């Protein structure tokens, strides 16, 4: 992973939930079925429900081979990025290829909106962890938060996730993003809890704004309030990032080490690092400046900006 010509893979990054994760991004930036108000990647520029081979499967597999043949010390390969990975018609082929040739855990972060389609569900069967999101269980809240493609129907989406849970042999974590003022009323939480009980996930994760969302009006929620909301979902176990219990799940490496391990494999700009490590640009810049002084890193300038690499 010492070159900087990767097109589809990124990281490895320290994921709060999954440990050291090699990301795989197989749809073009902001190609998605939704346009969520809280999306940290900005507005959806290509809203679609049409599955296709957005990037060549052979190219993704060749890049994965190049990386995985070096047996990198990663915990998981995660299909995620800045769009909806199940829009790629070849995701199943790529997952199956990794499973047949390497021994890594595979996770898929999806918005779950296409799981009502049998072929989409079957493409994910060989993953180990699937994390679909469901931010609303009423049409009103769904439209306000997720601003879906007009072809999508919420009822079908909930049924699709539930059907997938029945068929899938791995771990299914249902992620719910709380947008205060929209999906945190008693009525909305009751509807979400009913949907969660119907889906029957292994766990629920309650998320909240941590980095700037697409719309500035989206507010965060404090952990104590989320702990109250968690009661709606009982007896399903609920994880809340930021709580002491959740931190126990985290693999905590000092930020300096995480930066070094990333740029050792892939030279990155401050913005790349800040994004992948979920940190502030300024903080990352300060750490890199210190490392420059210590002679641990160097940089080179390219059209996209200043890239740092380990010496």
Number of residues that bind ligand SF4 (CB under 6 A): 10
Quick one: 136 or 259, whose CB is closer to ligand SF4? 136
Contact track, ligand SF4, 205-234, x by CB under 6 A: ------------------------------
Q: Where are the beta strands (DSSP E) in 178-304?
A: 203-207, 238-239, 297-302
| CB < 8 Å & 24+ apart, contacts of 117-123 | 117/160, 120/51, 120/86, 121/160, 121/163, 121/164, 121/167, 121/168, 122/92, 123/86, 123/91, 123/92, 123/95
Quick one: 1 or 36, whose CB is closer to ligand SF4? 36
Of the candidates 15, 21, 44, 138, which one interacts with ligand SF4 according to CB under 6 A? Answer: 44
The alpha carbon torsion through 135, 140, 144, 148 (nearest 10 deg) reads: 70
Q: With binding defined as CB under 6 A, does residue 157 bind ligand SF4?
A: no
Quick one: 34 or 291, whose CB is closer to ligand SF4? 34
Could you say which residues in the range 55-114 bind ligand SF4, by CB under 6 A? 83-84, 111
E strand or H helix at 155, and its extent?
A: helix 154-167
Q: Give CA–CA dist 256/291, Å, rounded.
A: 9
Could you say which residues in the range 22-41 bind ligand SF4, by CB under 6 A? 32, 34-36, 39, 41
Which residue's structure tokens are 């129907």? 153
Could you say which residues in the range 233-292 bind ligand SF4, by CB under 6 A? none
Shortest Å, Cβ 247 to ligand SF4: 24
Which residue's structure tokens are 């072809």? 151
Quick one: 41 or 171, whose CB is closer to ligand SF4? 41
The CA-CA-CA angle for residues 107, 113, 118, to 5°, reads: 80
Site residues (CB under 6 A) for ligand SF4? 32, 34-36, 39, 41, 44, 83-84, 111
């Amino acid at each position: 992973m010492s070159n900087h010509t990767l097109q589809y893979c990124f990281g490895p990054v320290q994921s709060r939930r999954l440990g050291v994760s090699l990301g795989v991004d197989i749809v073009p930036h902001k190609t998605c079925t939704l346009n969520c108000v809280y999306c940290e990647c900005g507005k959806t520029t290509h809203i679609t429900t049409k599955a296709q081979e957005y990037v060549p499967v052979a190219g993704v597999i060749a890049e994965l081979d190049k990386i995985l043949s070096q047996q990198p010390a990663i915990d998981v390969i995660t299909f995620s990025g800045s769009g909806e990975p199940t829009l790629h018609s070849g995701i199943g082929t790529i997952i199956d290829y990794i499973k047949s040739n390497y021994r890594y855990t595979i996770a898929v972060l999806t918005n779950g909106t296409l799981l009502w389609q049998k072929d989409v569900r079957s493409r994910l069967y060989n993953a180990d962890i699937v994390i679909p999101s469901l931010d609303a269980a009423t049409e009103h809240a769904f439209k306000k938060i997720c601003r879906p493609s007009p072809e999508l129907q919420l009822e079908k989406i909930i049924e699709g996730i539930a059907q997938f849970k029945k068929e899938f042999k791995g771990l299914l974590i249902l992620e719910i993003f709380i947008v205060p003022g929209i999906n945190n009323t008693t009525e909305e939480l009751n509807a979400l809890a009913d949907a969660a009980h119907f889906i029957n996930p292994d766990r629920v994760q309650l998320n909240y704004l941590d980095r700037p969302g697409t719309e500035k009006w989206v507010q965060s929620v404090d952990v104590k309030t989320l702990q109250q909301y968690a009661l709606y979902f009982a007896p399903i176990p609920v994880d809340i990032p930021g709580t002491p219990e959740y931190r126990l799940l985290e693999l905590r490496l000092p930020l300096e080490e995480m930066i070094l391990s990333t740029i050792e494999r892939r030279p990155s700009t401050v913005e790349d690092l800040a994004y992948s490590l979920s940190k502030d640009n300024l903080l990352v810049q300060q750490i890199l400046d210190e490392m420059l002084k210590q002679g641990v890193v160097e940089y080179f300038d390219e059209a996209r900006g200043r890239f740092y690499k380990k010496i």
